Amino acid sequence: MAHEEVNWSANYAYRAAAITRPRTVGELQELVTQATDAAPVRALGTRHTFNDVADPGETGMLVNLAELPATIEVDAERRVVRVAAGLRYGDLALALAAQGWAVHNLASLPHISVAGAVATATHGSGSRNGNLSTAVAALTFVDGTGELVTLRRGDADFEGAVVAFGSLGIVTELELDIVPGFEVAQSIYLGVPYERAAEALDLAYSVSVFTDWSPASINQLWVKAAGDAPVAEASVRELGATPALHKVHMIAGVDAAATTEQFGVLGPWHERLAHFKLDFQPSAGEEIQTEYLLPRRHAEAAIAAVRELTEKITPLLLISEIRAIAADSLWLSTAYSTGDDDWADGAIAFHFTWKREQAAVERASALLEAALAPFGARPHWGKVYTDAARVPGLYPRFADFAALVQKYDPRGVFRNAYTRRLGL
């Protein structure tokens, strides 16, 4: 192998023969034109995936978009921002905040790339907030023939192309919906009973439940309230929670300096909605992540099912997070709903941050997948999961998506081991 590149947590080493950094879209188009099904290409973002979704294989090429122009252009009249695909959400947030604008939500980490997060349906929290991909108003990508394609909301293929984990082409830029900047206050509470955890997710604009699934109550409740909709302390205490007296990290024993401001202090949206500050090493670093999303209406039953696995998963866990996400109509979004199905009330996400022990994590993931399968749980596209064969059946529009793959990548230059396991 001529080049080795590892992912963010170093649990996966990409097998690509080379990595390239085109400086123009024209150079990128030429690279794609030269690719073949035997020597494919895949885009490499900020490497915050934990599986081989971005790996083109030993004969392929990784394409890093960091050298393309770092476009951030606000169109105030249309309320969108045009942004280069490879930029990090944290950098976009700083630029938007400086002009008085915001995106509707952020993921836990501001360090992730815009295109990578969108392509994998990465999300923040909030029962009324769609995942990050729902803010996409348009996207432009180089398809498998080297052509530059732009799809806009309302176009026939748009809802199938937004969440596509790199299977239709390499995205070069996106347009995202923006809203006026707003303030958020973040407060941390302790001691919520498991039986009230799902109820707690509706307390505020964004809520995260952190637990190690031990027999006691959940570890922490992170409540992020919009400035114009404060949370009544009484409503939180009614759940059995008490305020944290010291700044905390969600992982026991880890310095809380990297986490965003707590204690209910109002501040700009981009300094509160993410869990971690942009200029700090986020989370634990040496870790592996898995995540499963299922219909919100099954939340209590699913929590009970995971608790049955406490003895098997807690020793391997660093922390687990439960969040709520609004339903949407993007074909391969993990919160996709037809509007009259089990997902119509939104999704609940069960996230697990594990110690970096790959084989043990895969065994634990298999147990979780079996326990959550009765609820139709969908694995996060960019995290570790073990049963790819059942994934296409979890998406009513998967066959339509497969047709889009044929349309936009007729030569198979973006296909890899990951897509083949899904039957694409």
For the chain, domain boundaries: 72-180, 183-387
Per-position DSSP letters for 183-235, written without gaps between them? EEEEEEEE---GGGHHHHTTSSSEEEEEE---SSS-SEEEEEEETTSPPPHHH
% residues pLDDT > 70 (the chain): 98
Quickly state the pLDDT bin for 284 (edges 50, 70, 90).
Answer: low
**E strand or H helix at 347, and its extent?**
strand 347-355
Identify the pLDDT of residue 286: 85
**Phi-psi group of 129: left, alpha or beta (phi > 0 → left; psi -120 to 50 → alpha; rest → beta):** beta
- Least confident residue range of 126-135, 243-252, 403-412: 243-252
- Report the pLDDT value the prediction gives residue 313, as an integer from 0 to 100: 97
> What integer pLDDT is reported at residue 149 of this predicted model?
98
290-301 pLDDT, tens digit per residue, is 999 999 999 999
Structure tokens at 263: 């204690």
What is the mean predicted confidence (pLDDT) over 370-393?
A: 98
- In the structure, what pLDDT confidence band is assigned to residue 4 with cuts at 50, 70 and 90? low
285: phi > 0 → left, psi -120 to 50 → alpha, else beta; which? Answer: left
- Report the candidate in 192, 198, 263, 195 with the shortest Cα–Cα distance to residue 225: 263
Predicted confidence band of residue 401 (pLDDT cuts 50, 70, 90): very high
In whole angstroms, give the CA distance from residue 193 to residue 202.
15
The pLDDT of residue 282 is above 70: no
Number of Cβ within 10 Å of residue 281's Cβ equals 11
Q: What is the pLDDT of residue 424?
A: 97
Instruction: For tokens 């035997």, name the residue.
Output: 38
Radius of gyration of the chain (CA): 21
Between the alpha carbon of residue 310 and those of residues 58, 316, 339, 368, the distances in Å are: 39, 10, 34, 11
Could you write out the DSSP letters of every residue in 100-116?
TEE-S---S-TTSBHHH
The answer regarding whether domain 72-180 maps to CATH 3.30.465.10 reads: yes
Cβ–Cβ under 8 Å, residues 278 and 90: yes
pLDDT for residue 2 is more than 60: no
Is the predicted pLDDT of residue 106 greater than 70, yes or no?
A: yes
User: Residue 393 carries which DSSP code?
Assistant: G
pLDDT (0 to 100) of residue 230: 87
CA gap 215, 63 in Å, rounded: 46
The chain-wide mean pLDDT, for the chain, equals 95
Share of the chain above pLDDT 90, in %: 88
Give residue 212's pLDDT.
Answer: 95
- For residue 281, what pLDDT is reported? 62
The CATH number of 183-387 is which of 3.20.20.80, 3.30.1490.20, 3.30.70.2520, 3.30.9.90?
Answer: 3.30.70.2520
* pLDDT one-digit tens code per residue, 338-354: 999 999 999 999 999 99
Q: What is the DSSP letter of 356?
A: S
Q: What is the pLDDT of residue 57?
A: 95
**Cα gap 279→271, rounded to integer Å:** 11
283 pLDDT band, cuts 50/70/90, is low
Structure tokens of 180?
């006026």
Q: Is 310 helix (H, G, I), strand (E, B) or coil?
A: helix
Given a cut of 70, whether residue 210 has pLDDT beyond it is: yes
- Whether pLDDT at 1 is above 50: no
Tokens of 22: 């085109």
DSSP track, 244-273: -SS---SSTTS-GGGBPP-TT-EEEGGGTS
Q: Are 105 and 118 in contact, with CB atoms under 8 Å apart?
A: no
Separation CA 252–CA 249 (nearest Å): 7
